[in-house]
Amino acid sequence: MVKSSSILSIAIVLLVWASLGEAKTQANKVKPETITCYNRGSKCFLKKVYCPIECPNVQPKEPNAKGCFLDCYSPKCETVCRNRKPNCDGPGAACYDPRFIGGDGIVFYFHGKSNEHFSLISDANLQINARFIGLRPPGRPRDYTWIQALGLMFGSHKFSLEATKTEKWDNEIDHLQFSYNGEALIVPQGLYSTWNSPNNELIVERASSKNSVTVTVPELVEIRATVVPVSEQENKTHNYQIPSNDSFAHLEVQFRFIGLSLEVEGVLGRTYQPDFKNPAKPGVAMAVVGGDDKYRTSSLLSTDCAYCVFSPEKNAAREGSMALEYGTLDCTRGIGGGNGIVCRK
Ligand SMILES: *[C@@H]1O[C@H](CO)[C@@H](O)[C@H](O)[C@H]1NC(C)=O
Ligand SMILES: *[C@@H]1O[C@H](CO)[C@@H](O)[C@H](O)[C@H]1NC(C)=O
């Protein structure tokens, strides 16, 4: 009820706003925007590609409307309509108590332990760890766990994204907290509010006014994340026995990787190895995959797991050239969502 009434009030605000707006806004709605790619390797390099008529805008104002998206790393140069929020049923997803969908499309669970950290992705130039929170009701053999935070490392940079602890969940309150290279980062609330690191190495863009973001590291990864509580229904269905003084606010995440190496490791990463034999078989309900000992790290932003392969020194040269490529852009409005870049003249 809360949700639908807030959607209604947003819709009313939009209606008033739209009727006050100039003709230009109307024109924008009809005429699809164009979008392009600035990375030289892209099939879309400097091509102006029109958005589909079904989603004419890269940043639609309507809540839950799909946005126009151009994948600059795809072998095709084609715009598509896409949700701004993570799709928990798509490849690269990590949602619920955590349920993953591998690069091979296979669904699996990795339970880990609460208040510990595990590497989801470990590659030569990218590492992503997760902090698990959870509880173990009396008599249960294991912890129920959820992903509360992500720690991302690339080159010499460190970024973290956390769901803040909250007793009682409230949709009207933002529960996201960020840091970049050890400093707290403020990304003002508001749809499409954006933060760029000094040389555009990392971009954070809100995908709704609160509790949902897209984080992009050009040429490496795009992360869509939303903060949610454990719902009453989930608590009932799975008998989690959630106490009344903790909502277990956690993340729903979907990753999109660009150019992982063949040796990529991590709970999720290994499923992207071309010859990975997933111990979880397709169609088996609740396939649980182990690996605590291989992937445990000592903190959110450390790379010390037994199977971790992150080695940023090898990538120093690469990072220099990346900064050059992205640092010279003079048309950076709307970076994000797969690095399709919108230029308005
Ligand atoms: C979760 O379910 C248990 C019963 O299984 C109940 O005692 C508890 O209050 C519920 N927690 C919340 C937050 O609703
Ligand atoms: C909730 O209550 C339990 C026991 O009363 C306590 O151990 C725990 O720290 C409390 N959690 C929060 C988030 O306050």
Is 139 in the same domain as 230? yes
Measuring CA to CA, which residue among 241, 255, 283, 39 is closest to residue 144?
241
Q: Give bridge partners of residue 341 from the DSSP assignment.
A: 36
Is 254 in the same domain as 308? yes
Is 102 in the same domain as 72? no
Counting ligands in written order, the one closest to the CA of 166 is 2
Is 161 in the same domain as 179? yes
DSSP class of 157: E
Ligand 1 atom with the shortest distance to the CA of 232: 14
Please indicate whether residue 237, judged by its CB atom, sits closer than 6 Å to ligand 1: no
Residues 6+ apart with CB under 8 A from 143: 111, 112, 113, 114, 132, 134, 135, 136
Query: Is 18 contained in some domain?
Result: no
Is 185 in the same domain as 51? no
Query: Is 68 contained in some domain?
Result: yes
Q: Give bridge partners of residue 296 from the DSSP assignment.
A: 118
Give me the amino acid identity at 194: T
Is 39 in the same domain as 73? yes
> What are the distances in angstroms from CA 21 to CA 13, 16, 18, 157, 318?
12, 9, 5, 42, 46
Give the residue whose CA is nearest to atom 7 of ligand 1: 241
Cα–Cα distance for residue pair 330/170, rounded to 1 Å: 40
Q: Residue 2 has which token pair?
A: 């809360």
According to the model, what pLDDT value does residue 130 have? 98
According to the model, what pLDDT value does residue 289 have? 84
Is 107 in the same domain as 132? yes
243 Cα–ligand 1 center, Å: 6
SS3 state at 14: helix
Q: 3-state secondary structure string, 26-84?
A: HHHHHCCCEEEECCCCCCCECCCEECCCCCCCCCCCCCCCCEEEECCCCCCCCEEEECC
According to the model, what pLDDT value does residue 7 have? 44
Q: Residue 210 has which token pair?
A: 């609160």
Counting ligands in written order, the one closest to the CA of 245 is 2
Cα–Cα distance for residue pair 116/112, rounded to 1 Å: 8
Measuring CA to CA, which residue among 48, 81, 331, 332 is closest to residue 203?
332
Cα–Cα distance for residue pair 123/296, rounded to 1 Å: 15
Measuring CA to CA, which residue among 151, 111, 134 is closest to residue 292?
111
Is 231 in the same domain as 294? yes
Exposure string (b/e) for 297-318, b if CB count within 10 Å is 16 or more? Answer: beebbbbebebbbbebeebeee
Please indicate whether residue 232, judged by its CB atom, sits closer than 6 Å to ligand 1: yes
Contact call for residues 169 and 250 (beta carbons, < 8 A): no
Per-residue pLDDT of the chain in tens (345 residues, 90 and over written 9): 444 445 444 444 343 344 444 444 554 456 899 999 998 889 999 999 999 999 999 999 998 899 999 999 999 999 999 999 999 999 999 999 999 999 989 999 998 999 999 999 999 999 999 999 999 999 999 999 999 999 999 999 999 999 999 999 999 999 999 999 999 999 999 999 999 999 999 999 999 999 999 999 999 999 999 999 999 999 999 999 999 999 999 999 999 999 899 999 999 999 999 989 887 777 777 778 888 999 999 999 999 999 999 998 875 555 444 444 443 333 333 333 333 444 332
Query: Is 54 contained in some domain?
Result: yes
Count structural domains, the chain. Answer: 2
Query: Is 286 contained in some domain?
Result: yes
Ligand 2 atom with the shortest distance to the CA of 243: 1
According to the model, what pLDDT value does residue 64 have? 85
Query: Is 86 contained in some domain?
Result: no
Is 258 in the same domain as 232? yes
Cα–Cα distance for residue pair 51/28, rounded to 1 Å: 12
The model carries a pTM of 0.83
Is 334 in the same domain as 283? no
According to the model, what pLDDT value does residue 317 have? 52
Please indicate whether residue 233, judged by its CB atom, sits closer than 6 Å to ligand 2: no
Cα–Cα distance for residue pair 61/190, rounded to 1 Å: 11
DSSP class of 230: P
Give me the amino acid identity at 240: Y
Counting ligands in written order, the one closest to the CA of 233 is 1
SS3 state at 304: coil
Is 173 in the same domain as 280? yes
Domain residues for the domain of 36 are 30-80+328-345
